[in-house]
A and B are shown apart, each in its own frame.
Chain A
Amino acid sequence: MEEIRKSLNVIVKSLISEKKVEYVLGFEEGTLPLKPVPLYIEKEEDIDRLIWNEYCNLNLVKFLLEEPHGKKIGIILKNCEIRSLIVLINEKQINREDIVIIGVPCSYGIIDINKVSKLLDGKEFTEFKKNGNDYTFKGVGFKKIIKLQDILSDSCAYCKDKNPVEYDYLVETPNEFKKIKDEDFDEYFDVIEFEKKTPKERWAYFKKELEKCTLCMACRNACPLCYCKLCFIDSNQPQWFDKTDDLSEKMLFHMTRAIHLAGRCTGCEACTRACPEGIDIHLLYKKLRKMTKDRWKVDKIELGEPSVLGSYKIDDPQEFMVKED
């Protein structure tokens, strides 16, 4: 990781000193362990605060949406986030030429702090130490060692799409990345396993998870692809959503959001990690990615390609059409 940070320093420094961008968006340490915060690098001296590691858990593309067109901004991104930026470029929300993408190959993925919290039974940890794959967490009266694979975001654990597909600067891959396990698994392994359950079991799972939802909208607001000026959930006239926390309303919100993200979600899982209740909602979105792959042979979003649900092709699957004999 230190190698990456050094390369980033050089790139960011040149962007800032040559005034190629107004600022570069990256991460710095926050006030709590495993909670980094967005860093706006506007001056060279800000660069010292820049960090890059496996717990930079927000999708920074979200913060580009507030900026006006024409403003030059640099941003440090992993591939799932680059693909979400591509969606925004494809959907004409952001101009490609406004953004300087610094692509970083992803090693293992991102730690889901909600998983850490669950494994520590909700206890507060004030310190953590990394030793290879072992993470030691310490708090009042406890010390626990957790393996990295147990706290990685689910999508990261099965991700095969780790190298930036669109960038202006590419950070060299350190040697340690090459040692990562042989990737002879199905990217949709967890969805396939989940699909084997009965509808009753699947319903029970989502019901149990979504019952925890308080409708705080952290998931929606952490997602760069949720950019509607007026979300259906906030509409008063007409009112689609009665705002109570009944399970039916929670389901309505999450299902509608999922459908709005079908063929667009890139699986960065910023939503799941932002959830204050630790709800595991990623399977819903991953299932939709698998469906677009199965039906349209498209699950990776490419620059300039129209979205599967936002476009029509003559050979789109249409098995629902009644054919004349």
Chain B
Amino acid sequence: MVKKRKKKKEKQENQNNQKNQDNPKDQQYSIEKIIPKDKFDSLIKGLYKDFKLIVPKEAENEIEFDYLDPENEKYQFPEYQNLRVSPKKFLFPQKEVLYSFEKEGTGIKIKEKEEKIDDQIIFGIRSCDARSYKILDTFFSSGKYSDPYYFSKRNKTLLIGLACNDPMSTCFCTSVGGAPFSSEGLDAILYDLGDNYIFKIISEKGIIFEKYVKEYPDVNKVDLKKKEELATSARGKIQFEINLDNIEKDLDSLFESDIWTKVARRCLSCGACSYVCPTCHCFDVQDKSDKSGGKRVRIWDNCQSSIFTLEASGHNPRNSGKERTRQRIYHKFNYYLKNYKILGCVGCGRCIKVCPTNRDLRESLKIVVETAEKA
């Protein structure tokens, strides 16, 4: 690998870019409107004329992202901190048919996938999840080809965020370059001020929203001040902070360390963490067929499963939980930096919440950083 190690200066810049950006560079559009909560439904109805809307909705026993039907339901955001399941599946579903095939005479006829994709908005997405799409975009467009299945949906999808007033106890976005009020990766963002929302356009693509919010008044200084206060208060609610500036280098020196035995000791090697992770993207491709034909499908895979790296010879380079746990951390906190110069984690804390044995990524990172410091 030629560019194995980044130069110090480059690294500094990279980390400055990642560091807690409430206001990323591409944000030059001064459209900031005040939308009273009682007018919210008409904003939704306006957007629905041109876009399908994926919103946080009350479901059985929890709130989850789902398609909205504003003609039959009046919409307000339900109360939520962040959702147990990220909206990753709308662009990268657990199972996706790539194409189908059927027998025709002595040969085989291949049928391309026909998928009609409407313009859609993921509405009410939190800052961490919005950043996760940036990571997925990077991965699916890396190398020689970009992934048509992902981008056919991604290119039709806009993201309108809802800044996070109440981060959860497991959130650590500020340690991985995010912030509860970050607008990175979003096309527009809403700030909840209590009785009103501020609607702010962030990206160039987001200018399309101008016509839906034109009628509303511009923000004034009082609103902006309130927003700043909320941003500071939200940031203050994040309970865990760790300095990961040197994480790539730290991990470089710890591959053979015995910390991994300790970190992995309680791991059950299930895929719960990978499947709720908004940035985990590994997949497997399988044929589902019978005598007359079938289809080729792409399905989520996960690196914690023992067969993930099982080779045809029977050899398995990641035979135990130790290697697999190490892989998950290296992939997000070392290989990602090496390959794409970004971290592969957005600090949403879902893996911590979901783990049956309470294996806490924050604890693992602490062990890594502390061990590297001592060395």
Note all chain B residues with C-beta closer than 8 A to A40: 265
- Also in contact, A30 and B358, with CB within 8 A (given A40-B265, A124-B169, A222-B270): yes
Note all chain B residues with C-beta closer than 8 A to A141: 79, 166
Decide yes or no whether B284 CB sits under 8 A from chain A.
yes
A274 to B81, CA, bound (A): 23
The reply to whether A214 and B268 form a contact with Cβ atoms under 8 Å apart is no
Decide yes or no whether B244 CB sits under 8 A from chain A.
no
Q: Give the nearest-CB partner of B320 in chain A.
A: A66
The reply to whether A244 and B357 form a contact with Cβ atoms under 8 Å apart is no
Rank and list the top 10 A-B pairs by shortest CB-CB distance, nearest first: A122-B62, A30-B358, A274-B356, A218-B270, A221-B268, A216-B271, A118-B61, A35-B358, A221-B270, A276-B272
Decide yes or no whether A186 CB sits under 8 A from chain B.
no
Q: Give the nearest-CB partner of B276 in chain A.
A: A276
A146 to B231, CA, bound (A): 34
The reply to whether A278 and B61 form a contact with Cβ atoms under 8 Å apart is yes
Decide yes or no whether B362 CB sits under 8 A from chain A.
yes
Note all chain A residues with C-beta closer than 8 A to B100: none
The reply to whether A122 and B271 form a contact with Cβ atoms under 8 Å apart is no
A98 to B306, CA, bound (A): 27
Q: How large is the interface on A (under 10, 10 to 19, 20 to 34, 35 or more residues)?
A: 35 or more
The reply to whether B286 and A244 form a contact with Cβ atoms under 8 Å apart is yes
The reply to whether B169 and A32 form a contact with Cβ atoms under 8 Å apart is yes
Contact mask for chain A residues 235-256; partner B; CB cutoff 8 A; 1 contact, 0 none = 0100000111110000000000
Decide yes or no whether A31 CB sits under 8 A from chain B.
yes
Note all chain B residues with C-beta closer than 8 A to A215: 271
The reply to whether B63 and A121 form a contact with Cβ atoms under 8 Å apart is yes
The reply to whether A218 and B272 form a contact with Cβ atoms under 8 Å apart is yes
Note all chain A residues with C-beta closer than 8 A to B61: 117-118, 121-122, 278
A63 to B362, CA, bound (A): 23
The reply to whether A38 and B94 form a contact with Cβ atoms under 8 Å apart is no
Decide yes or no whether A180 CB sits under 8 A from chain B.
no
Q: Say whether chain A's binding surface is mostly helix, strand, loop, or mixed.
A: loop
Note all chain A residues with C-beta closer than 8 A to B307: 234, 236
Which of A218, A243, A278 touches B356 (beta carbons < 8 Å)?
A218
- Also in contact, A124 and B305, with CB within 8 A (given A216-B270, A221-B268, A242-B286): no
Note all chain B residues with C-beta closer than 8 A to A234: 305-307
Decide yes or no whether B170 CB sits under 8 A from chain A.
yes
A143 CB to nearest chain B CB (Å):
14
Contact mask for chain A residues 106-145; partner B; CB cutoff 8 A; 1 contact, 0 none = 0000000000011001111010000000000000110000
Can you list 29 A-B contacts (CB < 8 A)?
Answer: A32-B170, A32-B353, A32-B358, A37-B358, A38-B266, A38-B357, A58-B357, A62-B268, A118-B62, A121-B63, A122-B61, A122-B83, A123-B81, A124-B81, A124-B353, A217-B270, A218-B272, A218-B356, A221-B270, A236-B310, A242-B288, A243-B299, A244-B286, A244-B297, A244-B299, A273-B356, A274-B268, A274-B270, A274-B356
Decide yes or no whether B363 CB sits under 8 A from chain A.
yes
Decide yes or no whether A36 CB sits under 8 A from chain B.
yes
Note all chain A residues with C-beta closer than 8 A to B113: none
Note all chain B residues with C-beta closer than 8 A to A30: 358, 360
A110 CB to nearest chain B CB (Å):
13
The reply to whether A222 and B284 form a contact with Cβ atoms under 8 Å apart is no
A71 CB to nearest chain B CB (Å):
15
A62 to B360, CA, bound (A): 20
Note all chain A residues with C-beta closer than 8 A to B169: 32, 124, 126
- Also in contact, A243 and B357, with CB within 8 A (given A31-B363, A37-B266, A234-B307): no
The reply to whether A244 and B265 form a contact with Cβ atoms under 8 Å apart is no
Q: Give the nearest-CB partner of B63 in chain A.
A: A122
- Also in contact, A124 and B272, with CB within 8 A (given A32-B353, A236-B310, A245-B95): no
Note all chain A residues with C-beta closer than 8 A to B352: 31-32
Which of B83, B269, B297 touches A221 (beta carbons < 8 Å)?
B269
Decide yes or no whether B168 CB sits under 8 A from chain A.
yes
What 18 additional pairs, Cβ within 8 angstroms, besides A32-B170, A245-B299, A278-B61? Answer: A31-B352, A31-B360, A117-B61, A126-B169, A141-B166, A214-B300, A216-B274, A217-B270, A221-B268, A234-B307, A236-B307, A236-B310, A243-B284, A243-B299, A244-B299, A273-B356, A276-B275, A276-B354
Contact mask for chain B residues 53-72; partner A; CB cutoff 8 A; 1 contact, 0 none = 00000000111000000000
Contact mask for chain B residues 285-302; partner A; CB cutoff 8 A; 1 contact, 0 none = 010100000000101101
Note all chain A residues with C-beta closer than 8 A to B170: 32
Which of A124, A214, A273, A278 touches B275 (beta carbons < 8 Å)?
A214
A12 to B344, CA, bound (A): 42
Decide yes or no whether B84 CB sits under 8 A from chain A.
yes
B229 CB to nearest chain A CB (Å):
17
Q: Give the nearest-CB partner of B96 in chain A.
A: A244
Q: Give the nearest-CB partner of B284 in chain A.
A: A243
